[in-house]
Amino acid sequence: MTQPAPLAETVAAIDAHGARVQGMFTDIARGYDRANRWMSLGIDVLWRRSAVAEVLPGSCADDGSRGGVAPGSVVVEGSHAAADGPLRARILDLCAGTLDSTLELHRRYPQADIVGGDFSAGMLAVGEAKLRGAARERLVAREMDAHALPEPDAAFDAVFCAFGARNLSDLETATREQLRVLRPGGRLTVLEFFRPRGLFSRAFHACYNRTVLPVVGWAATGNLGAYLYLPRSIGAFVTIEDYCALLDRVGLQVIGQQRLFGGVAGIVRAERPRGGA
Ligand SMILES: C[S@@+](CC[C@H](N)C(=O)[O-])C[C@H]1O[C@@H](n2cnc3c(N)ncnc32)[C@H](O)[C@@H]1O
């Protein structure tokens, strides 16, 4: 059977590393979801669900559990919005890939307007094909490079990023961009395979990622190189402690860390201070 031609990227990566990563993800896009499910036995779905649970700042967003406004609505205290009815929250899912996390965000916050941003046209095309019903109205997929977001300052109540940060060419520049597009009081949530430090997580990554993962990834996508890159990118990434220090340095206030599966993955939550830079 003839494979359809890969989609052309419309957003240029900032450097050679970015261009390689972009081409790699577009190449594996059609088998990416299958590879994730096979490799993690579905655990990635549970991790995404945990990460998505507290994406909107509790002080200004109602998750519906208190019987107030609809999930994903934002009540801006003291403004006309509180009298006229709640505004809809805006969430950016950065490095959104095939929109799995974007759809999970939509399930959690059905009233929110969500942008799924990624520089791989192929990944976004696979994701867009999964959108049905209300998700088509609330979710928009947009090609963008994480180092130069095509979004105005303070445009989002929350920025979410799952398994994307590790691939970036310049983590600090991209983090400053996330800070810029968050409104004061807005929240950043990052789910990532940080470089492991504990004995269990180091042993797990060393064994599993170098054996099972490349074989299963190759079987699901036909691209062995991409799944040899994954363990390398984890080894070259920062630890969760170093990442929190970076957030602090650029002006984001870390409000929580969660280690998943003995530290194999982690979730970091941070907020843009109110009244800060
Ligand atoms: C491992 S996938 C994660 C996809 C999705 N968030 C998930 O959880 O399945 C990493 C994604 O980050 C995207 N990405 C990497 N570097 C990027 C950059 N500089 N700008 C935008 N997207 C980028 C890739 O195209 C890819 O879709």
Whether residue 29 lies inside any domain: the answer is yes
SS3 category, 77: coil
For ligand 1, pick from 9, 95, 169 the residue to mutate: most ligand atoms within 8 Å of CB: 95
* 242 half-sphere exposure, CB direction, 13 A CA radius: 11
Going by the annotation, the residues of the binding site for S-adenosyl-L-methionine are 98, 118, 145-146
Residue 273: count other Cβ atoms within 10 Å of its Cβ: 13
Does residue 167 have a pLDDT over 70? Answer: yes
Whether residue 133 lies inside any domain: the answer is yes
Whether residue 1 lies inside any domain: the answer is no
Question: Considering its fold, how many domains does the chain have in total?
Answer: 1
Whether residue 231 lies inside any domain: the answer is yes
Positive or negative CA dihedral for 20, 143, 103, 49? Answer: positive
Span 56-90, pLDDT tens digits: 976 444 444 434 456 666 654 433 334 445 678 99
| Residue 255 Cα to ligand 1 middle (Å) | 24
Q: Let me know if 3 is exposed, middle or buried by CB neighbors in 10 A (0-12, 13-18, 19+).
A: exposed
Give the separation between CA 186 and CA 181, rounded to whole angstroms. 9
Q: Which domain holds residue 59?
A: 16-271
Whether residue 10 lies inside any domain: the answer is no
Span 113-151, pLDDT tens digits: 999 999 999 999 999 999 999 999 999 999 999 999 999
Return the percentage of the chain with pLDDT > 90, whole number.
Answer: 64
What pLDDT, on the 0 to 100 scale, is given for residue 274? Answer: 92
Whether residue 9 lies inside any domain: the answer is no
Whether residue 88 lies inside any domain: the answer is yes
CATH number at residue 108: 3.40.50.150
Span 201-238, pLDDT tens digits: 888 888 888 888 888 888 889 999 888 888 889 888 99
Whether residue 2 lies inside any domain: the answer is no
Residues with CB under 6 A from ligand 1: 18, 21-22, 25, 95-97, 100-101, 118-120, 123, 145-147, 162-164, 167-168
For ligand 1, pick from 25, 45, 102 the residue to mutate: most ligand atoms within 8 Å of CB: 25
Contact 28, 3 (CB under 8 A): no
Contact 129, 161 (CB under 8 A): no
Give the separation between CA 36 and CA 158, rounded to whole angstroms. 25
Quick one: average pLDDT of 96-111? 96
